[in-house]
Amino acid sequence: NAGVMQNPRHLVRRRGQEARLRCSPMKGHSHVYWYRQLPEEGLKFMVYLQKENIIDESGMPKERFSAEFPKEGPSILRIQQVVRGDSAAYFCASSPPTGENTDTQYFGPGTRLTVL
Amino acid sequence: QKEVEQDPGPLSVPEGAIVSLNCTYSNSAFQYFMWYRQYSRKGPELLMYTYSSGNKEDGRFTAQVDKSSKYISLFIRDSQPSDSATYLCAMRKSQGGSEKLVFGKGTKLTVNP
């Protein structure tokens, strides 16, 4: 499967715990985006990363949320001290390097986070 | 005013019907337009991508963009039960350095056999 991979698919955390969501982009893609989908809501942009760089984090809450995309390994979205309002589906998308049709983003299956 | 407005439906049609899904937007900076299909508890799947006003056809799907009216549409011909899903419109501004997509809320479509 050469698509965008996300794991875990389902994650249950108690309030105050940390959640780590992982995303492996499609082969050859170097741009990664994270979106959050709340119940009955559309997808909301959170952060856009390239390898080792955060390009745009304008959609990311200032507190408790962080993201990285290291030189090696998957992109990580980290949520510290989770609260019930963090319960949502988190989707990762990837697109090719600049100059190779970056207009389209391909989405992974999502991680569904439930905070008890 | 939200940047992208999309009627959430739900929309229910009989098999074989022509379906029309629409979005309006307020910011003329949007230049690239997409339609995604999302099955229940799955990730969005890219259906159509356009960047100019006019029509683009792919099989049973036609995407239409009217930049002067800030209005985009997706038409599905000969709809099938397998088309039952939520359809999300998305758009992007042509700004350097930021590739984020802005989505509508999605329209839930059910095609009844």
**pLDDT tens sequence across A19-46:** 999 999 998 888 899 999 987 778 999 9
Which pLDDT does position B96 carry in this prediction? 47
Is the per-residue pLDDT at A90 higher than 90?
yes
Give the C-alpha separation, A42 to B96, whole Å.
24
Say whether A103 and B43 touch across the interface (CB within 8 A). no
Query: Is residue B104 within 8 angstroms of chain A, CB to CB?
Result: yes
Max Cα separation, chain B? 46
Give the C-alpha separation, A87 to A91, whole Å.
13
Say whether B98 and A41 touch across the interface (CB within 8 A). no
Which pLDDT does position A102 carry in this prediction? 54
Interface probe with B: pick from A21, A24, A100, A103, most Cβ of B within 10 Å: A103
Which pLDDT does position A103 carry in this prediction? 62
Q: How many CB pairs under 8 A join A and B?
A: 68
DSSP A51: T
Say whether B6 and A42 touch across the interface (CB within 8 A). yes
Which pLDDT does position A99 carry in this prediction? 62
Contacts A44 to B, Cβ<8 Å: 103
Contacts B37 to A, Cβ<8 Å: none
Average pLDDT value for residue range A80-90: 96
Please give the residue of chain A at the shortest CA–CA distance from B49.
Answer: A104
Say whether A42 and B34 touch across the interface (CB within 8 A). no
Is the per-residue pLDDT at A52 higher than 80?
yes
pLDDT above 90 covers what percent of chain A?
74
Torsion of CA B27, B33, B37, B38, to 10 degrees: -40
Say whether A40 and B105 touch across the interface (CB within 8 A). yes
Q: Taking chain B (113 residues) in consecutive chunks of 10 residues, what is each chunk's mean pLDDT?
A: 86 96 93 93 91 90 94 96 96 69 94 96
Say whether A42 and B104 touch across the interface (CB within 8 A). yes
In sequence order, the β-bridge partners of residue A69 are none
Contacts of residue A34, Cβ cutoff 8 Å, sequence gap at least 6 = A23, A45, A46, A47, A67, A75, A77, A90, A91, A92, A93
